[in-house]
Structure 1
Amino acid sequence: MSRSLPRVSLRPEDLAPLKVLVVDDNMNVMRLICDVLRASGVGQVEGAADGVRARDMITRWDPHIIFSDWNMPVMGGIELTRSIRRAAVTGDRRIPNPQAPVIIVTGHRSEADVEVARSAGVNEFVIKPFTPAALLSRIQLVLLKPRPFVVSADYIGPDRRRKLELSYNGPLRRSSDPTEVVDVAERAATRDTIGVELEALRALIAARRRVDAETLKMTYRVMQHTSFRARQVRDSVVARASALLMEYADAMGGHEHCEAEVMEVHFAAIAKLLVIEPGQVDEAEEVLGQLQMVVRQKIARRRAA
């Protein structure tokens, strides 16, 4: 299991030609994934509400990559994957590419669930709740680290000799996990990863032109992870800035009171902090102080309303 936020190194020219199909019966989740992918630079993104409609889209559109929910009415993600892989043997003309990468988006994370997905021919997992980088890192894996396609008597799908990776972006929880990382290269890599996640989130909110419930949940989760990773590398100003955004979200009491402009102020401040050298304490504290002033003013107005 991946225990840290994956770095996303795909270039815009890698994403622009892609056609990605998103399959989910929850329209809010489908739209959210579609918006994340479009905002991140994926050229063409379409949605389908279940596996049957997805098969129709596959026939007409021939997507390069498929994101699918596990549980859906009519035909779920695992059954959809099996039907795609079977075409490698049956020659089903309705499935132009039986080898199309399938990424399952699900809350299932047990070893038994992983084995079911592996046996069906799934390429990768994204575990809910997800972040923009979690989705993009799965695209990175299937594009930059493709696995040989296997057709045998008992299995059809990508080579299973590499374990499916669960895209987990939460805090480290094992007692053996390190409490802090102080290596300069690790701090730089962490800042780079945070920057990728931040830009994807900013693009998503800009594309949606508002902060809805799903976007706020994703933002909160990204900030939780950003704060945690920053603390791991003793990047206290980035950790504090992330905590301020969570404090603002908590104080507002819901997405309907969160302003996209205020979120952008947070994102811009964190982006500045990410390029300030660790030794430039006064400059970092000035950025943080300005952000804190904005947050305190907004919280005070909300409480007075």
Structure 2
Amino acid sequence: MTQNRTLAAANLRPADLAGLKVLVVDDHSVTSRLIGDVLRAAGVGQVETASDGLRAREILKRWDPHIIFTDWNMPVMDGLELTRTIRRAAVVKDTVVPNPRVPIIMLTATRSARDVEIARRAGVNEFVIKPFTPASVISRIQLVLTRPREFIVSEVYIGPDRRRRTEISYSGVMRRAQDPAEVMDKLDRQSTRETIGVELEALRRVIASRGGMDRETLQMTYRVMQHTRHRARQVRDQLVEEVSQSLLDYADVMGGAEACDPAVLEIHFDAIRTLLAVPETNVKLATNVMRDLTVAVQKKIKVTKAA
């Protein structure tokens, strides 16, 4: 069976997200703000935040969100207990909880098999692993909106159906093993290039919404470039891989993402965007893009070191 595994932003238009109300629960204000900025940049219409589960319940009294993102570890009431109180309202009336079936996405720094099982038993729908990228946040919204799970109410479990055959971790197309190699390569390359373009655009919108680069977006940019390099390497898109590697090398030379010049990151973004927009057969243009990129980066490094 063919199954859609394309990046969420390629499927969900801003108009699809404009009416969404999303509650973000995290005691770390920087993380909470960053997730909110990612959601707004993706087109989500309303975002509310809370610093722990009890404050989240206070918001639920007056506000009925369509989706909840919650951190696992929080003081006062953590994400697991918040999830349990929401799901419990399906069998024991709770005037605080307007919708016991609301999709809940767990934010966590680890995802062991044991952690997954614990969270699933509590009634969590999906997971976002920290540190995250725009694509990882948006893709979870896609899952709960386009592939809703049946809600189960039983004596031993309350929550979304825990059975799932596949996890969406790859953003390319599903292929049949008997397809010719050249056809599979063409489909993969096209889909992967579209995915790269979507994630870079999402990143640019987040940066713009925050008024420019800061510590968090610099670190996020580094992670996105790691993913871009990996995707490009998988489908043998050598030039996009080289640009991604160039940015990662630059960050390493500078001593980390936080020391990077935002202008240099923009140069790399523009180079990838240009390469994705032109036919791969246009070797002359691609060569010029790579040459200009190399010259610009080396110049910036020399200026920085001289200063």
TM-score higher than 0.5: yes
Aligned to 1:66: 68
Between the aligned partners of 1:141 and 1:289, the Cα distance in structure 2 is 41
For 1:91, which of 90, 93, 102 is the aligned residue? 93
Between the aligned partners of 2:222 and 2:210, the Cα distance in structure 1 is 17
Aligned to 2:297: 295
Aligned to 2:188: 186
Offset of 1:128 from its aligned partner? 1.4
Query: How large is the Cα RMSD of the aligned pairs?
Result: 2.2
Aligned to 1:22: 24
For 1:243, which of 236, 242, 245 is the aligned residue? 245
The aligned length equals 292
Between the aligned partners of 1:201 and 1:104, the Cα distance in structure 2 is 22
Q: Which consecutive unaligned segments of at least 5 residues does structure 1 have?
A: 170-180
Q: Which consecutive unaligned segments of at least 5 residues does structure 2 have?
A: 172-182
Aligned residue runs from structure 1 range 132-211, under 5 A: 132-162=134-164, 165=167, 183-211=185-213
Kindly tell me: are residues 152 and 164 of structure 1, through their superposed partners in 2, closer, same or farther at Cα, counting changes over 3 Å? Answer: farther
Offset of 1:259 from its aligned partner? 3.4
Q: Calculate percent identity across the aligned residue pairs.
A: 61
Offset of 1:275 from its aligned partner? 1.9
Between the aligned partners of 1:267 and 1:227, the Cα distance in structure 2 is 13
Offset of 1:232 from its aligned partner? 1.4
Partner-residue secondary structure (3-state), 2:95 = coil
Amino acid across the alignment from 2:212: R
Offset of 1:9 from its aligned partner? 1.6
For 1:272, which of 271, 274, 291 is the aligned residue? 274
For 1:220, which of 205, 218, 222 is the aligned residue? 222
Offset of 1:34 from its aligned partner? 0.8
Between the aligned partners of 2:62 and 2:291, the Cα distance in structure 1 is 54
Between the aligned partners of 1:299 and 1:264, the Cα distance in structure 2 is 15
190-199 or 243-252, which moves further after superposition? 243-252
Amino acid across the alignment from 1:153: E
Kindly tell me: are residues 113 and 257 of structure 1, through their superposed partners in 2, closer, same or farther at Cα, counting changes over 3 Å? Answer: closer
Offset of 1:182 from its aligned partner? 6.7
Between the aligned partners of 2:222 and 2:41, the Cα distance in structure 1 is 18
Kindly tell me: are residues 95 and 35 of structure 1, through their superposed partners in 2, closer, same or farther at Cα, counting changes over 3 Å? Answer: same
Aligned residue runs from structure 1 range 42-121, under 5 A: 42-121=44-123
Q: Deviations over 1:45-75 (max 9, x none)?
A: 1211111111111221111101111111111
Quick check: 2:8–2:138 contact (8 Å CA) kept in 1?
Answer: no
Between the aligned partners of 1:168 and 1:26, the Cα distance in structure 2 is 29
Between the aligned partners of 2:19 and 2:304, the Cα distance in structure 1 is 44
Between the aligned partners of 1:10 and 1:247, the Cα distance in structure 2 is 33
Aligned to 2:34: 32
Aligned to 1:174: none
Partner-residue secondary structure (3-state), 1:88 = coil
Quick check: 1:228–1:239 contact (8 Å CA) kept in 2?
Answer: yes
Partner-residue secondary structure (3-state), 1:93 = coil
Between the aligned partners of 2:6 and 2:228, the Cα distance in structure 1 is 11
Between the aligned partners of 2:152 and 2:89, the Cα distance in structure 1 is 13
Partner-residue secondary structure (3-state), 1:89 = coil
Amino acid across the alignment from 2:278: I
Kindly tell me: are residues 7 and 231 of structure 1, through their superposed partners in 2, closer, same or farther at Cα, counting changes over 3 Å? Answer: farther
Between the aligned partners of 1:9 and 1:200, the Cα distance in structure 2 is 13
Amino acid across the alignment from 1:205: I
Kindly tell me: are residues 117 and 250 of structure 1, through their superposed partners in 2, closer, same or farther at Cα, counting changes over 3 Å? Answer: same
Normalised by the length of structure 2, the TM-score is 0.89
